[in-house]
Amino acid sequence: MKTRIATVAWLSAVVGMSHAGDVFALTEAEQRLCQAYQRGDSVVVLGEAPVDDSEWYADWSAYLNEAIATYGESVQVVSAQSAPHFPVAQYSVLMGQRAKPSYVLEEVVEPQVYTYVHAVYTGEDIPEEVKAFKPQHVDNLFDKVCLPQ
């Protein structure tokens, strides 16, 4: 929990510095991400995820890949390395959709968390058995970077 709070505070500080009156250039990946966000597509920024042979990594990777696949063509995924205005910690995922909450999912190995976010973004009812897995939403970094002020 301390890590999650620290990450949220750090993201807010970075965004605040980025918009202190300065105009900044977006990378190609960030431009694609912002175009998708402006269209109303779901957007995902993946933190660095070095491959290892642990069961934890296998679960984390499988649940993440399965979750992203549920969005089909209506998702834009980029790595945090190619999107410096969207800092994301290792094994974490920043997810957003215009006019919806954004979420930082850190080291999530519960597929129900992804199911919850998907339901929010698609407007579907959240299944009762998934409601307990509601992730904490964060300030909408995508609005701050992608939408003209």
Tens of pLDDT, residue by residue over 61-108, are 999 999 999 998 899 999 999 999 999 999 999 999 999 999 999 999
Cα–Cα distance list, 78 to 9, 29, 42, 45, 53 (Å): 22, 6, 12, 5, 24
Instruction: Identify whether the C-beta of residue 142 lies closer than 8 Å to the C-beta of residue 96.
Output: yes
Instruction: Please give the CATH topology (third level) of the domain spanning 2-146.
Output: Glutaredoxin (3.40.30)
Please write the tens of the pLDDT for every residue from 27-74: 999 999 999 999 999 999 999 999 999 999 999 999 999 999 999 889
* Host H or E run for residue 30: helix 28-39
pLDDT band with cut points at 50, 70 and 90 for residue 119: very high
Chain centroid to Cα 85, Å, comes to 13
Range with the poorest average pLDDT among 2-11, 94-103, 116-125, 128-137: 2-11
Predicted TM-score (pTM) of this structure = 0.83
Give the model's pLDDT for residue 10.
41
114: which 2 tokens? 């992804």
Cα–Cα distance list, 115 to 53, 131, 140 (Å): 25, 10, 20
- A 10 A CB-CB count for 13 gives 11
Sequence spans of domains, the chain: 2-146
